Amino acid sequence: MKIAILGFGVVGRGAYEAILHHACGVQVKRILDLRVPEGMEDVVTTDYNTILNDPEIEAVAEAIGGLHPAYEYITRAIDAGKHVVSANKHLICHYYRDLHERAAARGVDLRFTPSVGGGIPWLMNLRRTKRCDRILSLCGIMNGTTNYILDSMLTRGIDFSDALKEAQALGYAEADPSADIDGLDVQRKCAISASIAFDAVLTEEDVPTFGIRHITKEDVARFDAMGYVCKLMAFAEERDGRITASVEPYLLPKTATEGAVRTNFNCITLVGERVGRLSFIGQGAGSAPTGMALAEDLIDIATANGKTPVSLTPAVIDGTIRPHMYYVRTSAKLPSACILHRMEQAIITKPMTPADIHALYTTIQATDPDAFIAGLDPDVASDARLC
Amino acid sequence: MKIAILGFGVVGRGAYEAILHHACGVQVKRILDLRVPEGMEDVVTTDYNTILNDPEIEAVAEAIGGLHPAYEYITRAIDAGKHVVSANKHLICHYYRDLHERAAARGVDLRFTPSVGGGIPWLMNLRRTKRCDRILSLCGIMNGTTNYILDSMLTRGIDFSDALKEAQALGYAEADPSADIDGLDVQRKCAISASIAFDAVLTEEDVPTFGIRHITKEDVARFDAMGYVCKLMAFAEERDGRITASVEPYLLPKTATEGAVRTNFNCITLVGERVGRLSFIGQGAGSAPTGMALAEDLIDIATANGKTPVSLTPAVIDGTIRPHMYYVRTSAKLPSACILHRMEQAIITKPMTPADIHALYTTIQATDPDAFIAGLDPDVASDARLC
């Protein structure tokens, strides 16, 4: 399927890269942008009509951002009978009904998986799940900027304003970060998610929203001392056809799933009547994840039945790829060559391959059948207390 | 699409329920079982030939379990030109190459999403992701029985044998739990996942495996004191066409994503070159989740292009569905009617609706523009220290 990408910025380039480097049934014929990079004159155009009037181009990927002129570009594409994919949560939320009605009237597909959760295939899984389950509720961390700020304030005890400056320096926040820190970005993603989940249309007005603009490091320290973590959470729930949705800072136990969500990651959860709780954690934004998610939506459109052939080449096994240290609790005497550190009743090994640790275990078992072995995660292996 | 379910046990019934109660483009015409429940004589049959010879039946869902006669039932279905879905990890792993070659030769679809991760759409998302990304590695908790055991030992300080008995009483473990506690179940799921992820065929022999049979509560307490948690983890990684895969108890920091995975839940992660880390958390087994996942695979087969219409009915908003308590840190004086408890510089409210908390916030802001508000998770709200 030949497609055009509208906008060759961060997201557009990510989509282009993903499609270019994988044989996925989708080909980029044109890219629309204001500027034509040197050497790309055969692909990049400044004239939208060459795309609209090209019967070979079956779909467009909108990567312009904002409400206008993105809205005009998308509606002209739909009018021209082309499928549309988009990562633009503001546009999709604001014109949800209008764009869906136009696409349905024209018989084209409209997909926007990366508009909520970036690289996380949240909306696709939400849609898929509800085909034979009932979605009872959804919730989660849908904004990486604010998660980065809250996580930094917690892990390093810094001020809100310092955390925000860091986020801006890292490209996780805009020069004007209001949409993120006042919760508007999450408000839109919550409305989109709830609309899909509950077969209805929610607008921004239906989602009462608080942001994190007023949180202080004293607030964060107080919560931490009590065993809680504060996250900016979206919620939506349905009961008997009635829906409630909201966005707010929320206190959770540190041991909650959301408590382990670091830096700019997102974590979104659905509760289905049959499937129960299903959580998705990943990069909520960024050129590569978001661009790739846009490409995946295009492939979903292109692929009838979603049949993907399965390769049957035999695997080439190589255990030296990932040697790591082990904790071995045993009364057996062990060859000192493999020992990095001795503890009471246990040792820490040097990095070992699967073949080596299994060989060692076999010799240990002869003397101590109750011996216990555990691999060490890098953060555990580097713990000074083990050395 | 009309289908037949083979086996009317736990998983078969879950699939039947899911399909029956949702308009999903799939209809159960026949169920094969040894026993015909009263009142279901028009659906349940003991004669497989009536299914094989019925041209209306396009697919079968194998919910028999084990290697034989499940293998025979599936191969006869493929020979008869019917698509096959299965939750049977032992069968799929053991006959991976054989079943795929047969299905490809006959031109039918073979799907087995619930064979790894039960209700979690892990394999479907793994397949979908690799269409335009390269999978670098995967890892995770793939067995609910052992996670339940390890989690119980940690949270309640009980013995391995007591935790195992509890798991058996709850139906999370078989009378002979060896496949779970010796890691064989995870070994199969790891082989299947790696085969899909890396376009190759791994057999059980390619996955060196340790179980948790020898872990003691003293081991668990020692890890906990050091800030670690022990989980039974599967790993697989590829480098330049070479693969390593293994299953072992593994020590992670408590703050790791896997650290928050409770009871019988699974947590499976892929690392893609473009998408980065993507984690899926949910119920790894059980009638409703697994049966539903089987139904979803059938719908994927039935649905050309995966087009699912989007409903545009306006949402009916009702904020009284989910009132909850809030932490309000402010210097403003608050109406005592909403106060449950006073703290230093803050109050805990009684349960409030979104409309009420936003109205309260508006009045607070007039006096104290820096006020901060956070909702309370139920586990936080019930914390005695707040009352």
Q: Under an 8 A CB cutoff, do A316 and B200 touch?
A: yes
A166 to chain B, closest Cα gap in Å = 21
Identity of the residue numbered A91: L
**What's the pLDDT at A309?**
53
Nearest to B242 by CA among B167, B312, B137, B172: B137
Q: Under an 8 A CB cutoff, do A354 and B208 touch?
A: yes
Domains of chain B: 2-115 (3.40.50.720), 122-284 (3.30.360.10), 326-386 (no CATH)
**What's the pLDDT at B305?**
38
Sign of the dihedral defined by the CA atoms of residues A273, A274, A277, A282, in that order: negative
What's the mean pLDDT in A236-262?
A: 92
Nearest to A111 by CA among A47, A15, A235, A181: A15
According to DSSP, the β-strands at B83-86 and B57-62 are parallel
**What's the pLDDT at A310?**
55
pLDDT band at B307 (very low <50, low <70, confident <90, very high): very low
What's the mean pLDDT in A323-329?
A: 92
Q: What are A48-103's pLDDT values in tens digits?
A: 999 999 999 999 999 999 999 999 999 999 999 999 999 999 999 999 999 999 99
**What's the pLDDT at B381?**
86
Distances in Å between the Cα of A165 and the Cα atoms of A10, A159, A160, B43, B78 are: 21, 10, 9, 65, 60
Asked if the model's pLDDT at residue B309 lies above 80, the reply is: no
Whether B179 and B187 have beta carbons less than 8 Å apart is answered as: no
Residue with tokens 């690799």: B130
Q: Determine the Cα–Cα distance for residues B127 and B297; give it in Å rounded to an integer.
A: 13
Sign of the dihedral defined by the CA atoms of residues A306, A286, A52, A3, in that order: negative
**What's the pLDDT at A186?**
98
Q: Does B382 touch chain A (CB under 8 A)?
A: no
Nearest to A180 by CA among A222, A223, A141: A141
Locate A10 and state its tokens. Answer: 């961060």
Nearest to A184 by CA among A137, A142, A148: A142
Work out the mean pLDDT of chain B and round it to a whole number: 92
Q: Does A128 touch chain B (CB under 8 A)?
A: yes
Q: Which of A58, A129, A204, A274 to mutate to test the interface with B (most CBs of B within 10 A)?
A: A274
Q: Determine the Cα–Cα distance for residues B60 and A328; give it in Å rounded to an integer.
A: 47
Whether B293 and B115 have beta carbons less than 8 Å apart is answered as: no
Asked if the model's pLDDT at residue B312 lies above 70, the reply is: no
Nearest to A251 by CA among B319, B325, B339, B253: B325
Contacts 24+ apart (CB under 8 A), B42-49: B44/B8, B48/B6, B48/B73, B48/B76
The secondary structure element, H or E, covering residue B230 is strand B228-239
CB pairs under 8 A between A and B: 375
Terminal-residue alpha carbon distance, chain B: 57
Q: Does B362 touch chain A (CB under 8 A)?
A: no
Q: Under an 8 A CB cutoff, do A372 and B100 touch?
A: no
What's the mean pLDDT in B276-303?
A: 93
Q: Determine the Cα–Cα distance for residues B7 and B70; give it in Å rounded to an integer.
A: 10
**What's the pLDDT at B138?**
97
Q: Under an 8 A CB cutoff, do A315 and B194 touch?
A: yes
**What's the pLDDT at A307?**
46
Instruction: Respond yes or no: is residue A189 known to be catalytic.
Output: yes
Q: Measured between beta carbons, which residues in chain A are less than 8 angstroms from residue B285?
A: none
**What's the pLDDT at B385?**
77
Q: Determine the Cα–Cα distance for residues B337 and B333; give it in Å rounded to an integer.
A: 12
Whether A166 and A155 have beta carbons less than 8 Å apart is answered as: no
- Other CB atoms within 10 A of residue B86 CB: 27
Q: Determine the Cα–Cα distance for residues B317 and A204; give it in Å rounded to an integer.
A: 12
* Residue of chain A whose Cα is closest to the Cα of B348: A251
pLDDT band at B311 (very low <50, low <70, confident <90, very high): low
* Residue of chain A whose Cα is closest to the Cα of B249: A374
What's the mean pLDDT in B365-374?
A: 92
Q: What are A185-233's pLDDT values in tens digits?
A: 999 999 999 999 999 999 999 999 999 999 999 999 999 998 999 999 9
Q: Which residue has the higher pLDDT, A175 or A37?
A: A37
Which spans in A46-112 are helix H? 48-52, 70-79, 89-94, 96-106
Q: Determine the Cα–Cα distance for residues B16 and B76; give it in Å rounded to an integer.
A: 22
Q: Which residue has the higher pLDDT, A111 or B305?
A: A111
* Residue of chain A whose Cα is closest to the Cα of B134: A22
Q: Determine the Cα–Cα distance for residues A349 and A355; give it in Å rounded to an integer.
A: 14
Nearest to A63 by CA among A121, A21, A105, A3: A3
Least confident of A33-42, A305-314, B378-387: A305-314
What's the mean pLDDT in A356-380?
A: 91
pLDDT band at B310 (very low <50, low <70, confident <90, very high): low
**What's the pLDDT at B306?**
43
Q: What are B67-118's pLDDT values in tens digits?
A: 999 999 999 999 999 999 999 999 999 999 999 999 999 999 999 999 999 9
Task: Name the active-site residue from B82, B89, B189, B231.
Answer: B189
**What's the pLDDT at B383?**
82
Q: Measured between beta carbons, which residues in chain A are less than 8 angstroms from residue B344?
A: none
Task: Name the active-site residue from A189, A217, A231, A254.
Answer: A189
In chain B, residues 54-73 whose CB comes closer than 8 Å to chain A: none
